[in-house]
Each structure stands twice: as C-alpha cells, then as structure tokens.
Structure 1
Amino acid sequence: MSTTTSHTPESEGPVEGPSRPVRLIQNEATTEIPVHLLFRDDPDPVSVPPKPAVVARRQGTGEQPRLRRPGPARARTVPQTDPGLAECPARVLPGIAGVLAGLGGVAGCLATSWWAGALPRFTVTALGLPGAADAGPGPAQWAAYAGAGALGALGFAGLARGTAGRACVLALFGRYQGTVRRTGLLWVNPLLRRRRVDVRLRHWRSEPMPAADGHGVALRVVVLVVWRVRDTARAVLGVADHEAYLRDCVEAALARVPVNMPGGARGAVDAAGEALTRLVAADAVGIGLEVFSVQPVRAEYAPEVAAAMHRRRVAALDAQQRSSMLTSVVDSVEDTVTRLTMRGLVELDDYERKVLVRDLTVAFCSGRTESAP
C-alpha cells in the first residue's frame, strides 16, 4: 500500500489525505499577491520571477485597490481673441502733406481751366497769364480735370486731427491696418475706415448688481471699476462692445466672490476687492482691457430679504445689548458684595448672601432698564 505525499507550503504545515492544488491566496490575512497571477489567461503554469511586483489589497477581502494617476490641474481658461490680432502703429503722413496735395489739386484744376479757356478774362488778366485759345475742354482737359480733382479730394479728405487720450483704429475692407496714437494734424488714407477709441484712464460706477455675502444672503452691490483700453485692436475688433463685456465680467465676478455688508471687518472688505480685481482683470485681458481696481462702494440687502434681515439685525443688537447689560450688572453686584464683606461692614451667611445678591441684581437691572433709551 503506497502512501501519497503532497508538497504543501510551510505556512500550512503537513496535511493528511489526498493531494490538492496549492492555493494562491492562503487565507484572509494575505496582504499581497503577484501581479502576473492576477492577469494570467494561460492555464499552463508559468515560472514565478525572482522578485515579482506585488499589488496590495484590502485586509480580509479579494478586492484590488484602484490606482488613480494624478491628472494635471485644470487651469482656468481665459477667453482670447484672434492671436494674430494685436495693436500696431498705422502708417500716416504729416498733415502738411495732405494740405499740399489738396492745394496742388486746386491749382491743377485752375491750370486746366486756363488751358481749356474756361477762365474769365478778368481773372486771366489779374493773374498775369497769357491768353489761351477759347476752344473749350477736350479729352485732354477732362483727363487733367479728373487727375487734379482726385488729387485735391484725396489731399483734403485724408486730413485728420489726433488728440491726446484718443486713438483711431484703421481698417480696410474689414482688415486691421493699424492704430493712430499721434497727436496734431495728420493725413490718413481716406479709403480706410476710422473708429475712435478712448484710451484714457476711466472709472465706471455700476448700477446695483446681484451678489451674496459669506452666508449666501442676497445683496445688491455697487462697484467702482478703474480701467483703460490697452490694446485698441482687440478692444474694438475682438469683441462687439468692450464696455458691455466689462460689465458682464464684473457681474460674473460678483457671483463668485462673497461681499460683506458695510461695517464689517476691514480685512474682509479688502480681500473681496482684491479677489474681484483679480478675476475681472483675468477675464478682460483677452480683449485688450487693463483693469486696475474693482472695489465695492455700496452694499445693501436685496428687497426680498431686506425686511427679514433688518429684524434679524435688530434682534442681534438687542441680544448684544442685553448681554452687555447683564455682564455689567453681575460685575457691579460682585464688586458691591466683595467690598461690604472685606471691609467688615456686614457679616453674611450663605442665605443672607444669596438674598443680598438677588436684591442688588434686581435693583441694578431696574436702574439700567429705566436709564436705557
């Protein structure tokens, strides 16, 4: 009679009876298993590497933990206009060039009229010009008229005046050509479309906008925004109305930043202003606006919660006043009893002390209540 022996792990010890396959997971206390055994599809046995990688699992269960790779932090997207759209100086000429061109066109028209004999005789005599054949204008004269007229029209029509604090955005058939920030008399191509932009430092006081405080109570807040146009190309051509866009950015920032009521902590008010400035500046930089400050100047409760918040505030003030009065009365009673006892004016047992404290408390409270407005 033969005896069949089977090889068992050392941790299990000798096992009597018929042989059975080796268990991969010995018991619920196992804390690690080889990775290659978890994802093996081939039923044939494979050799175990010398130092297999292991994956920990929860104590007492066969559930494998989910490995989460830390993903990249999502950055807040800022709206951007056409990346190729940026302010650049436009090509303009001094105004004297336009004046000379216009005067040259007028002189050319007069010369052509003399050539065609269309000038009156007294004008020719006054100018000291020789007489011309009175043959009337011909094809050559009409061509000269057209050239001189076009020169004069281009010269005078292209004159423009540049002023400090204002810029002029030029476009030809919808294509950006440049921005004029120069001052004085200039000559600009009359075929270009001109759009003036105020580039001075500006401030805008908003109308009451919806907001909320730190507890989510609805407010109406008026803010003061200090800003200016930095990139005229993006401000004029990158958005339909940059002032309306700025108002929308301020309203969106108020929806994300809690605003405290007036009379709160100074640090909280400054923090709210800094947060609003940072958000609005980040949203407006994409359209060429530079925001310096966004500060709440007035805040009040929304009409739907104003009455309830007023009652709540009055109740809080009343409770605070009562607490202050009670503290003052208790301090006065304690001081009075202590002085009477320490100076030996009276000798009180516990019962008499309680009665004295009660009477003094009632007297002080009555006096404070009558003296209060």
Structure 2
Amino acid sequence: MYIEKKGFSTNGYAVVATFVVLHLLWLPLVVSGNLPWVIFGGVLTLLTAGCWLGFYMVQPNQGVVLTLFGSYVGTDRQDGLRWSIPFFRRQHLSLRIRNFESGRIKVNDNQGNPIEIASIVVWSVTDTAEAVFEVDDYESYVAIQSESALRNLASGYSYDPLEEADIALRSHPIEISDKLRHEIQERLGKAGVTVHEARISHLAYAQEIASAMLQRQQASAIIAARQKIVEGAVGMVEMALERLQEKEVVELDEERKAAMVSNLLVVLCGDKATQPVVNTGSLY
C-alpha cells in the first residue's frame, strides 16, 4: 500500500538564476582556446543543459507525483515553477473538488418495486500516491463505484415508508444522503479519494408502474384527508351540542340529537355543497 510523502523539489526561479550564473562562469573556459579548459567547460555546459529538463510547472491546487525508474519517490504540491532531478518521471494530478453525476439507473427497492434513481457525488483526490498506484484509473473508479454504491443503497430501502419509523428513499433524504456518502467513501478510500457530499438528484417510480403508484398515493392522500375532516366534524358536532345545552336554546331528545348529528356530519363531511331545506312546519 502506497502512502503519499513529500518529494524532492526546489524553487525553479532560484535554479534558473544559478544555471545562468554557471553558464556565464564557464563561457570564458569554452572560448579560451586552451583545449583542456575548452573540453572541461564544454562538458560542464552539456551537464548543465541536461539539468534544464528538470523544470516543470505546478498549478494551484495540483499535485505532481514523482517516480524514479518505476519507484515512487514523493509528491510535490508546491505551486509555481519547480525543479527536480531530470530523471524523475512526473505525473500531474488535480486536487480540486469535482462533481460526478450518475446517469439514471433502474433498480428494484427492497419491496421489489422498480424505481429510477440518480445521484451527485462531490469528491476530490487527497492522497496522490493511492490515486495513481492503487487503482488503474481513479476517475473511472469513482464513476463505477459510485453507481454501484447507489444501486446497492436503493435496493436496501423502500421508496415509501411502510411504517412511520421506517427510513425510506423519498421520506428521509438527509439520512439516505449520509448513508450513501458513507458507503461511497468506504469504496473510494483505497483510491485516495475523499467524498465530501453525496445526494440523490433524481428519484421516481419506473415508467411501467408510475401510473399505478400515483393512484395509490392519491388514494392514501384522500383517505388521510377524510380522516382529518371526520375528526374535525365530530369535534364541531360535540361543541354544537354542548353550546346548545349550555345556552338552553332548545331541548332535544336522543332521537333528535341523532338526527342533528347526522345532518351536521353530512354537511361538514360532504365533498359537495349541500342544498338547504327550510322546515315551515312544527319542529316535531
């Protein structure tokens, strides 16, 4: 297992100034006409010219992985013009935060219902050695493992909660996002990648069952609304009977109370406007 370490490098501008001074010092030897000094100065000039190959540029928030004949020697994260040993092979990696948006995948939830789901993963490389040497292509590895984790998560939870305490994909977005980020991080940790955030960007029933599930949701909503209406109507009827008795507006026997309760419930619970009937005769 590879762990990132600091590689050897130095400020490139200082090395440029040093090489220029050395060339100026060796130039009189080359043009002196004395053969030994000419050969010596020429050899030094060639060696110095080869050292110019050791310069490279590091952009802000970028890392350069240095290897020597297949051996990892370190990573340079210092931005600007840098110089290192010319024999080092250099590989540039971006350390910036990136987004990965998965395509819409079809998967069955834990109830067997086909659903469509997609996610957005915010990630960055934090260990350049692992990213380069532990996996073949870390960007492709992020894409494949993120989609695999999303598929595994979606199959472990239901689309809608079966009970109030159940965690479901649609009703608990924060909990699902935390679990998704944790699962993706476990998969990408070995590649030197840190997952900053993972959220579901699309969630819906598959097209073949979408209409049936919509009807079920509408029926559930209607039942819940009716329950609220009935609870409120019963409370209003109780309050009406109590107020009539307190104010002694009219005395009703049990049969008339039942009739009044029936009429009030019809008025309060009906989904259409009621038609009033005026009684012009005796109350009884």
Which TM-score bucket, shorter chain as reference? 0.7 to 0.9
Assess if the C-alpha contact under 8 Å between 1:209 and 1:251 holds in 2: no
Give, in whole Å, the separation in 2 of the partners of 1:265 and 1:86: 37
Task: Show CA shifts across 1:184-213 (max 9, x none).
Answer: 33212233221111224x142523443665
Task: Show CA shifts across 1:48-101 (max 9, x none).
Answer: xxxxxxxxxxxxxxxxxxxxxxxxxxxxxxxxxxx2x22222222332235533
2:7 to 87, 90, 104: 90
C-alpha displacement of 1:270: 2.9
Q: TM-score, normalised by structure 1?
A: 0.58
Q: Which has the larger radius of gyration?
A: 1
1:227 to 93, 109, 123: 123
Give, in whole Å, the separation in 1 of the partners of 2:22 and 2:208: 72
Q: Which residue of 1 aligns with 2:147?
A: 251
Q: Which residue of 2 aligns with 1:283?
A: 187
Give, in whole Å, the separation in 1 of the partners of 2:139 and 2:80: 27
1:369 aligned to 2:272? yes
1:158 to 19, 44, 54: 54
Classify 1:157/1:253 alpha carbon distance in 2 versus 1 (closer, same or farther; 3 Å): same
Give, in whole Å, the separation in 1 of the partners of 2:268 and 2:195: 58
What is the identity, as a one-letter code, of the residue corresponding to 2:101?
S
Assess if the C-alpha contact under 8 Å between 1:166 and 1:197 holds in 2: yes
RMSD: 3.6
Q: Which residue of 2 aligns with 1:336?
A: 240
Query: Percent identity of the aligned residues?
Result: 24
Q: TM-score, normalised by structure 2?
A: 0.73
Give, in whole Å, the separation in 1 of the partners of 2:187 and 2:81: 37
Task: Show CA shifts across 1:156-204 (max 9, x none).
Answer: 221123333111001233332221122333212233221111224x142
1:270 aligned to 2:166? no
What is the identity, as a one-letter code, of the residue corresponding to 1:97?
V
What is the identity, as a one-letter code, of the residue corresponding to 2:99?
W
1:148 aligned to 2:45? yes
Assess if the C-alpha contact under 8 Å between 2:63 and 2:76 holds in 1: yes
Residues 126-137 of structure 1: pairs in structure 2 closer than 5 A: none
Structure 2: 5+ residue runs without aligned partners?
A: 161-167, 275-284
Q: Which residue of 1 aligns with 2:213?
A: 309
Assess if the C-alpha contact under 8 Å between 1:97 and 1:187 holds in 2: yes
1:100 to 18, 39, 62: 18
Give, in whole Å, the separation in 1 of the partners of 2:28 and 2:60: 38
Equivalent pairs counted in the alignment come to 262
Give the structure with the larger helix fraction: 2
Give, in whole Å, the separation in 1 of the partners of 2:241 and 2:218: 35
Residues 314-333 of structure 1: pairs in structure 2 closer than 5 A: 314-333=218-237
* Structure with more contact order per residue of length (Cα contacts < 8 Å, sep ≥ 6): 2
Assess if the C-alpha contact under 8 Å between 2:29 and 2:38 holds in 1: no
Give, in whole Å, the separation in 2 of the partners of 1:93 and 1:365: 82
1:196 aligned to 2:196? no
What is the identity, as a one-letter code, of the residue corresponding to 1:330?
V
Three-state SS of the structure 2 residue aligned to 1:271 is helix
What is the identity, as a one-letter code, of the residue corresponding to 1:149?
L
1:206 to 78, 93, 101: 101
What is the identity, as a one-letter code, of the residue corresponding to 2:15?
A
What is the identity, as a one-letter code, of the residue corresponding to 1:278?
H
C-alpha displacement of 1:266: 10
C-alpha displacement of 1:350: 3.7
Give, in whole Å, the separation in 2 of the partners of 1:342 and 1:92: 94
C-alpha displacement of 1:232: 0.6
Structure 1: 5+ residue runs without aligned partners?
A: 1-82, 116-131
C-alpha displacement of 1:327: 2.6
Q: Which residue of 2 aligns with 1:360?
A: 264
What is the identity, as a one-letter code, of the residue corresponding to 2:212?
A
What is the identity, as a one-letter code, of the residue corresponding to 2:273?
E
Assess if the C-alpha contact under 8 Å between 1:102 and 1:155 holds in 2: no
Assess if the C-alpha contact under 8 Å between 2:102 and 2:143 holds in 1: no
Q: Which residue of 2 aligns with 1:237?
A: 133
